[in-house]
Amino acid sequence: MGLVLPCYILCQSLMKQSSTVNTKADGKKVRSSQCEIDGIILGIEMAMTYLKTCQSCNDSGRILVFCDSNYAIDVIDRKLEAVRYSDFYKRLTDAQSQLKAMDRYVSLLYIVHSGIIGTDTADEMAREFAQSIASSHTDATEDITVTDVYKLATDIVNCSWQRKWNGDNTGRVTYSFIPDVGTKVILPMRKVGVSYCRILLHDTMLNDDSFRTGTSDTYMCECGQERETVEHVLL
């Protein structure tokens, strides 16, 4: 039993329109490798559908398709087991012709699957959903918009970015002020913006920072009570 879960696509373009691509379930008793291969090809087809329908695309011509199966990537890239996957290669050959005509190319990128918090949960949920469709308890959608895929890919990237930001050893001063990735800060004037950036970089003109960089003889504040840090001055 298998359910095609499309690879997440990041077309390097401005996605201002909504396109729709048909999807399908692979059926019962289908090997997971077949689903992965089908997912890659479906991802390429979805990218091409978007590029054909968008009126103005400011992109580099490169389509990124992410997959967590090295085997599936090798099958596509090296055209392995042509007899077993003959139907896939017919679709792939057609896609290659269209990509060439569109002056676009595809990069298949491997993403680590194991050791990521939440991966096992996602796998279990996918299996349960596939079983629900196979048993006719749930209706499988026949189409999915490119906008939906783009939003899902963005959510995944932001979650990964947040996880790395939370556990990183560098930039901790900046993290103390901006713990959430994607935060936008709007400042009223340039000089305020410069001061704010210097605070984030832990490189202000206050004595605590200046003493560390060798431009001050002391780290103490003029009040003589504490180190002249950002927290001391502002709070």
The 10s digit of each residue's pLDDT in 72-95 is 888 888 877 777 778 888 888 899
Domain 9-167 has CATH 2.60.120: no
Mean pLDDT of the chain: 78
Per-residue b/e over 87-113, b at no fewer than 16 CB within 10 Å? ebbeebeebeeebeeeebebebeeeee
The Cα 225–Cα 234 span in angstroms is 15
Classified as helix, coil or strand, 54 is coil
Annotated domain spans of the chain? 9-167
Q: pLDDT tier at 218 (50, 70, 90 boundaries)?
A: very high
The answer for 79, left when phi > 0, alpha when psi is -120 to 50, beta otherwise, is left
